[in-house]
Amino acid sequence: MELKWLEDFLSLAATRSFSTSAAERNVTQSAFSRRIRSLEIWLGSDLLDRSTYPVRLTEDGRNFHEVAEEIVRLIHASRADLRGQVAAMSAPTTIALTALHSLTLTFLPHWVTEMRKRLGNVATRVLPENHALCLEALTEGGYDFMLTYHHGSVPFPLDPVRYPHLAVGRDCLTGVANPLYFSPSERRGAWPLLQYSRGSFLGLLSSVAREKPGAPETYVAHINENSLAESLKFMVLEGHGIAWLPEALVAGELEDGRLVRVAPAMPMEIRLYRNAARSRPALERIWRAAGGKYAKGE
């Protein structure tokens, strides 16, 4: 068994694409495929379900993923030590985290800073995605943690024992508009609504918020099919309509008056979920530092 086979496997688990990982690993796709197959033969198990696109890890693949990460980390740390470096300083704690796009812009940078203050050198591998793909990455894609918003009005499909969570922050979903085009004091009739894609998490929350007392009457003027709150923000700034956005995402624009609130804010929790099946010591340190009581499944 060769180290490069493990590194190939970790790359493929992250990209879900043989061609992308082959380019990343600087080998031809056929050579990359042979190396992945050699690893599977050596282990005596299929690590990948090749019948889907993008490829998915099998159950054995998901179980082996964490082992492969730890082996590669330890080998590189030992090499650094043998070369006269201090391994504990040169090999940081590494976590794989998936998060909603808006949280990677507003909450994640400060959260990582806090983790580094408490734990020292922490390296992160972050996958910004929509809510559905974040869930898939946490449950099937080899990611340790997920950052997402939460509100009791939207059901959450994760088993709380297998995927415990912490409330690590708060934000509000706020209806906003550009006052040059839409002024609350001059409200007349229905306003054009800039809407998230059907079924998106923030789209479901904004539907609840639009039913709250004090929310303006709206009609759908634009649907953002990729569910990116940042994209809706710039549409609002250009005066195309109003949208419900995380307040942290528009804090600067609200402060300088480029945007104004046009509806009552709806509070949201920011939650950190973890995959309980992944339990290497580095993850336990992160969980404790974040305030978790993992043994109690809280």
pLDDT at 167: 93
**pLDDT for res 93:** 67
* Spatial contact of 1 and 67, defined as CB atoms under 8 Å apart: no
Determine the Cα–Cα distance for residues 272 and 245; give it in Å rounded to an integer: 20
d(CA 66, CA 143): 9
Q: Answer whether residue 256 shows pLDDT above 90.
A: yes
For 94, which DSSP code? E
pLDDT at 80: 61
Contact 214, 262 (CB under 8 A): no
Question: Over the stretch 34-45, which tens digit does the pLDDT of each residue have?
Answer: 899 888 888 888
- What is the distance between the alpha carbons of residues 120 and 46, in angstroms, rounded to a whole number? 37
**1-87 classified as CATH 1.10.10.10:** yes
Residues 133, 14: Cα–Cα separation, whole Å:
13
CB 23 within 8 A of CB 61: no
Q: Where are the domains of the chain?
A: 1-87, 170-267
| The pLDDT value given to residue 293 | 47
131/216 Cα distance (integer angstroms): 27
Could you give the CA distance from residue 35 to residue 6 in angstroms, rounded to a whole number? 9
Contact 242, 175 (CB under 8 A): yes
User: Who contacts 237 (Cβ-Cβ below 8 Å, separation ≥6)?
Assistant: 178, 253, 258, 259
The secondary structure of the chain in percent helix, strand, coil, rounded to multiples of 5, reads 45, 25, 30
Give the span between the Cα atoms of 168 and 171, in whole angstroms.
11
For 86-125, write each residue's pLDDT tens digit.
444 445 667 889 999 999 999 999 999 988 888 888 888 8
Considering the chain, what percentage of its residues have pLDDT values greater than 70? 92
Neighbouring residues of 173: CB distance < 8 A, sequence distance ≥ 6: 149, 151, 202, 205, 206, 209, 244, 245, 246, 247, 265, 266, 268
Residue 156 pLDDT greater than 80, yes or no: yes
Rounded Cα gap, residues 254 and 125, in angstroms: 31
pLDDT tier at 294, thresholds 50, 70, 90 = very low
Q: Are 143 and 98 in contact (CB under 8 A)?
A: yes
pLDDT in tens, 182-205: 887 777 788 999 999 877 889 889
Report whether pLDDT(266) > 90.
Answer: yes
The pLDDT-based confidence of 233 (bands split at 50, 70, 90) is: very high
**28 three-state secondary structure:** coil
Split at pLDDT 50, 70, 90, the class of 145 is very high
Confidence (pLDDT) at 273: 95
pLDDT of residue 259: 95
Alpha-carbon gap, residue 237 to 126, rounded angstroms: 28
Mean of pLDDT values over 65-89:
69
What's the full length of the chain, in residues?
298
> Please, are residues 240 and 194 in contact by the beta-carbon 8 Å criterion?
yes
Percentage with pLDDT > 90 across the chain: 34
170-267 fold: D-Maltodextrin-Binding Protein; domain 2 (3.40.190)
Report pLDDT for 111: 92
Sort 286 into a burial class: Cβ within 10 Å, 0-12 / 13-18 / 19+.
Answer: buried
- pLDDT of amino acid 82: 64
Position 292 confidence tier, pLDDT thresholds 50, 70, 90? low
What one-character DSSP code corresponds to residue 260? E
Q: 259 or 56: whose pLDDT is higher? A: 259
How far apart are the C-alpha atoms of 174 and 263, rounded to whole Å?
Answer: 7
Q: Determine if the peptide bond prior to 179 is cis (ω within 30°).
A: no
Task: Tell me what pLDDT residue 234 has.
Answer: 94
Which amino acid, 6?
A: L
Question: Residue written as tokens 């470096």?
Answer: 85
Q: What pLDDT is recorded for position 136?
A: 85
